[in-house]
Structure 1
Amino acid sequence: MSVKPPDRVRMTGISKRYGPIQTLADVSLRLAPGEVLGLVGDNGAGKSTLSKVLSGAVVPDAGTIEIDGQDVRFASPADARAAHVEMVYQDLSLCDTVDVAGNIFLGREPVKRLAGVRLLDKRRMHADAKAMLEKLGIVIADTRLKVENLSGGQRQSIAIGRAASFEPKVLIMDEPTAALAVAEVEAVLDLVRAVSARGVSVILITHRLQDLFLVCDRIQVMYEGRNVAERRIEDTDVEEVVNLIVGRKFAARSARRSPAEAGADA
């Protein structure tokens, strides 16, 4: 009898409060190896805070995290990275005045020794960067190009390529297709597919709901810091997802209407 492998990620009872504001309240999340999970919700739903907990940027007040069945505690992004959890933020965190290879290896630059002195190994860095990008199907004419000279889609691809090139188990993407042209969106979604096909578990945070149905296996909906629904992507549609995201808000507004307002619609 085969034994089911543990979830790649299991977050249980995650809570976070900032003063009087409860940002996360007893939130859970699970993610299988190679699965693409769409994490959605209105502004202020807690998506970014939850992802920052998993990436080590926010320390929760309560709750547990497991990676491949092992309990982990992240006090910083470096701790998460050591556990092979990477995050691509919406602002990309790229250095515009640095070239493509330099951005990919930022903080992890290869070095060589010359007469006992440690020097940046630029030749190896550019060769390795080119190989990493080609492996992911990312087309960049020259790794010596400054990032400031690239298109929005290329910049997004570089940010994802950097995160995906160092053997992550989990890759979190925050609004990777925001403000991109249609062709650039397709290229980024192809990259999501390529990464997950290599067994990397992906969390996709997006307001572009149509993207969910192109790359995700499952969605999780959050509302005011809580889980409200999970759906397999084949068991739902855009209309239901919209209702899950905003339905409770609209219901609350409707409940507050006066009898006169209700009668006016009759």
Structure 2
Amino acid sequence: MSKRTPMIEMRHVSKHFGSVIALSDISMAVCSGEVMCLLGDNGAGKSTLIKTLSGVHRPTDGQMLLNGEEVSFKSPAYALDAGIATVFQDLAMIPLMSITRNFFMGREPTTGWGLFKRIDWKRADRIAMQEMSKIGIDVRDPSQPVGTLSGGERQCVAIARAVYFGAKVLILDEPTSALGVKQASVVLRYIAKARADGLAVIFITHNVHHAYPVADAFTLLKRGGSLGSFRKEDISREEVLNMMAGGAELESLDAELAEFQHTDQEDQRSARPEAAPQNQASSV
């Protein structure tokens, strides 16, 4: 059986900002119908990697390949045209505008020709409702402000928008970070659906408990470098947590804290005044 060509791949990618090394020798590959979870703590380089994939930054070194062909994006618009859609944490939505307006955001369907060309709002509303219903969200009125939706539902609008407009690669930047358990489950279900529809999904998060149920593979980042990529069947949830938390560092910290506690107890004992001897009763 021949090996599948990854839909998106990074080979030894580095990104420098002057003397600052934001990314160093990052390699990973995601095939269609897979979810790659990109894990790392704050400052690990996740944001820089997202922006490099989505065309905001150009790599200083290394190669990026889309469906086996090397690519170099001049801007996010070029990446979007190539099928790489990124849903950032701010969602790029206008809360006071309707669900339909936010769904299309300048790409509304039109009707008529020439001077009589106009937006077909009936068709736009129908498409927005259909796409939302596919993910289990019942929109009663597509003209309602998107700000009236829950956080999880707004995430799903942004994801459904990217999928509808032909995304081949879906990059999600911390989509569940500010959500409760119920809302996060809505987003995770839709990530699983995007995978079933054949998209290559890159799910950026620092929450292993959200990542593990939907992931097919993991890439772990630390201080701009990669700790490696692992298939889900090759690594347990506890191992992922241990690598993210820095198991060796935590053990060293526990040893140091135990030593400090021991020293502090010794200091407290030595600082206690010795009990004065009892006065002997004087003889008469």
> TM-score, normalising length from structure 2?
0.85
Deviations 1:175-219 (A, max 9, x none): 111121211111111100111100001111112211122100111
Match of 1:175 in 2: 174
1:229 and 1:244 in contact (8 A); partners too: no
Aligned match of 2:124: 125
Q: How far, CA to CA, are the matches of 2:186 and 2:254 in structure 1? A: 44
Unaligned runs of at least 5 residues, structure 1: none
Secondary structure, counterpart of 1:242 in structure 2? helix
- Seen in structure 2, the aligned counterparts of structure 1 residues 255 and 17 have a Cα distance that, compared at 3 Å, is farther
Question: What code does the residue aligned with 2:191 have?
Answer: V
Q: Which moved more, 1:77-86 or 1:228-237?
A: 228-237
Question: For this pair of structures, how many residues does the alignment match?
Answer: 264
Aligned to 2:235: 236
| Secondary structure of residue in 2 paired with 1:11 | strand
2:156 corresponds in structure 1 to: 157
CA distance in 2, matches of 1:6, 1:29: 13
Amino acid paired to 2:164: S
* Distance in 1 (alpha carbons) for counterparts of 2:137 and 2:56: 28
Letter in 1 for 2:160: G
In structure 2, the partner of 1:108 is 107
1:84-103 alignment to 2 at 5 Å?
A: 84-103=83-102
1:194-205 paired onto structure 2 within 5 Å: 194-205=193-204
Map of 1:208 onto structure 2: 207
Runs of 4+ in 1 over 4 A off after TM superposition: 251-258, 260-265
1:63-82 C-alpha deviation (Å, 9 max, x unpaired): 21111111111111111111
The 2-side partners of 1:227 and 1:115 are apart by 53
Verify the 8 A CA contact 2:146 2:154 in the aligned structure 1.
Answer: yes
Q: Contact 2:28–2:229 (CA<8 Å) still a contact in 1?
A: no
Structure 2 counterpart of 1:102, which letter?
A: R
Q: 1:116 offset after TM fit, Å?
A: 2.2
Q: Which amino acid aligns with 2:81?
A: A
1:138 has 2:149 as partner = no
- Specify the SS of the correspondent of 2:111: strand
> Is the partner of 2:246 in helix, strand or coil?
helix
Instruction: Tell me by how many angstroms 1:239 deviates.
Output: 2.6
- 1:79 and 1:256 map into 2 onto residues whose CA distance is 51
Cα deviations by residue, 1:119-152 (Å, 9 ceiling, x for unpaired): 2221121112122222333332221110111111
State how far apart, in whole Å, the 2-side matches of 1:111 and 1:12 are.
42
* Structure 1 residue 113: Cα displacement: 2.8
Is 1:54 matched with 2:36? no
Match of 1:13 in 2: 12
Q: 3-state DSSP class of the match of 2:112? A: strand
Q: CA RMSD for the aligned pairs?
A: 2.5
Shift of 1:25: 0.8
Q: Secondary structure at the match of 1:3?
A: coil
SS of alignment partner, residue 182 of structure 2? helix
Task: Select the structure of larger CA radius of gyration.
Answer: 2
Q: Which amino acid aligns with 1:220?
A: T
Confirm or deny: 8 A CA contact 2:4 2:31 kept in the other structure.
Answer: no
